[in-house]
Chain A
């Protein structure tokens, strides 16, 4: 899940 979470970061 961490990969999905971080996708919104720039």
Chain B
């Protein structure tokens, strides 16, 4: 465990909780892509199946349970509890265009052709693109609530911190995992455009709105 890992995990946790609180407090999931949230629930489910087979640490198990629990709670709030506020018309990204190629890639490029390993690889690839329906939704409506941008910023920051973590682990532990690194870099790149808007607009007190 290094400082980048820890702050990365906490940033990820902050993002998840910000989103849950936003929906809960405003009693609305307007502007949130339910499809992205379903993809994240799939990501956590397929990656953390090892909860049932291997124990790593209390920290590890607790975080996994929290991530999975929050992911399903978010999906429940969007599609059940606050369904009336869900903006389905703008959430029109075709997720099969992500899930099918990502599934194929996980079967083709993995460390070991076993069930658990392919699921792990699938979750890594899927996570790197799971935010696309959300970004697509923002580009379609042309704006995002400030709280939604904080959520996205924390989520992007988590991935950027994980990259620093991998650099650290490569130097000090001689460890690297090419699949995780490539997927992590792709994921971070997807946020670059958003980071720019966040710094130039949201941090200066303006609402995030895109030019028409």
Contacts and interface: CB of A to CB of B under 8 A. Distances in A.
Given A9-B5, A10-B12, A10-B67, A3 B60 contact: no
Interface in A1-10: 1-3, 5-10
B173 A10 contact: no
Contact of A8 (B57, B111, B162): B57
B63 interface: yes
Contacts of B5: 9
> Most chain-B CB neighbours within 10 Å: which of A1, A6, A8?
A6
A2 B165 CA distance: 15
Interface of A, helix, strand, loop or mixed by DSSP: loop
Contacts, number: 32
Interface residues of B, number: 22
A7 B111 contact: no
B56 A7 contact: yes
A3 B56 CA distance: 13
Interface string B100-115: 0000000000011000
Contact of B63 (A2, A5, A6, A10): A10
A10 B70 CA distance: 15
Interface of A: 1-3, 5-10
30 contacts: A2-B111, A2-B175, A2-B176, A2-B177, A3-B111, A3-B112, A3-B177, A5-B169, A5-B173, A5-B175, A5-B177, A6-B175, A6-B177, A6-B180, A7-B50, A7-B54, A7-B56, A8-B1, A8-B56, A8-B57, A8-B60, A9-B5, A9-B162, A9-B180, A10-B9, A10-B12, A10-B60, A10-B63, A10-B64, A10-B67
